[in-house]
Structure 1
Amino acid sequence: FAAVMSQPHERGRNVGTVVSGIMVGILLGRTIAGVVGEAYGWRAVYAMEAAFMIPVWIGAARLLPQGVPSTNLSYPRLLASLWPLMRDNSPIRQSMMVQALLWACFNAFWVNLAALLAHGPWQLGSAWAGGFGIIGAAGALAASLGGRASDRLGSRKVIGASIGIVTLAFLLLAGAETSIILLVLGVIVLDIGVQSGLVSNQTRAFAVDPKAQGRINSLYMTATFFGGAVGATISGWLMARLGWMGIVEFGVMLGVIAGVVHWTSAPRQTEELA
């Protein structure tokens, strides 16, 4: 919605602002859920979530502007158009693949953090695991900066930097079993990289067709969360069998694959740099 309402030269900044809000909410939600869950049980977390959605619903209905459809296609035809849209536009495909890999890294860390803290040398409970969401929220503010950088430098440069930052984060996290400082630094660096990548990849995909922003977003977010689901599943298996270093190696491997995808998908000189 923010992308549709934005001028092309400010799309990255505005999308970055919205994504910063989303990610700060996700990460602080982990903190709140950790505290509430430890004190009152997991059911209380879902009850609180349901209660919070009521004022959000009212606020959205009253404050958001009226949207204007960009097409008169029927809903089934819109769904049918998703495959040709992805097939015919390589920037969309590339952004989907890279962000799926980065989100797999993101979930691989956060899904297994509680196990590291509880069963590793730290012996800390769920409230402490949730507390790391506050640290991650600082890194999540990088989404706004990543959006501005995409507007100014071009999204491909920011995507490349984001991949490198995520890979660096897992190298730092290799010491998370022995150093709380490296764990904290790894959380911050990981979230800076993932959130910057989220916005820059999204901005690059959106630039393909201003009239298909909703459909592009559907493709992009489906790939993102599919990658996150795969990352959570595989990393849980690795954590059970190889321990924390299995997670670290998995994250580095995903970062390298994302780098290869990004490098090999560099546009030809005849193509416009996104």
Structure 2
Amino acid sequence: MNMLTFRNGIRLLLIVILFLGTITITSLGAIMNTASAQANKPTIVFVHGAFAESSSWNGVLTKLITKGYPTVAVANPLRGVKSDADYVASVLKDINGPIVLVAHSYGGSVTTNAVNGNNNVKALVYVAGFAPEEGETAAELSGRYPGSTLTPTLAPPVVLPDGGKDLYIQQSKFHAQFAADVPANDAQLMASTQRPIMEAAFNEASGTPAWKSTPSWFIYGDRDLNIPAAVHSFMANRASSKKTIIVNGASHVVMVSHPDAVAEIIEHAATAQ
């Protein structure tokens, strides 16, 4: 090896070392920036409702995770308002820093009762969700104004060993009733994977509502056949909603059919002062 070849080899080695060092420094910087961004953002906690499950939030989750929000999608037991609220409250207690609590449908009854004085919960977002007053039930609220067609679409109850009853929506009626603005194939998957709710949960009275002390935001579709739009409007006005979005043509699962709009209002709640 002559001296020129040796020198060229040394130069090449130095270039490689500097290049690798740049990659490492750049990657470390990106990681630190991401961690810093997440540290400055509240954790968004999602609670699904009856006849749904955590994956119903996937479209919204994708958008918020991309923007650096820490997220948790809770598996709502759907056994009863108080017991479900106690479970969600236990999840909230393990989260450090500010929280935005997002709920769909019956999940709204749960989150309304789950805050329990947790000062980390800075905002409530009701996504086609119940926001009951103390003593109210989901069944009573959904029937307060005309328009709900849920009851005739329910399958015969599944009787449990303890005498309780689990409720499902008939799969053949799920698309039209629950998710009319979702593609048929997606709605069939949702129908097949739906989680049952105990019948008694719909008739269990709510406790002291968190929306009286925690700022609330509302979004719902004007073609919701589970909870009529008039009911949503009534609840949002009563809770002095900071912002209410009505999505034209949207069904009960507005978070599935319009994830952009739902993610936007959640960000609005997350960044409100």
Is this a same-fold pair by TM over 0.5? no
TM-score, normalised via structure 1 length: 0.22
Which structure has the bigger radius of gyration?
Answer: 2
Instruction: Give 1 or 2: higher strand fraction.
Output: 2
TM-score for both structures, normalised by structure 2:
0.23
With a CA cutoff of 8 Å and minimum separation of 6, indicate the structure with the bigger relative contact order: 1
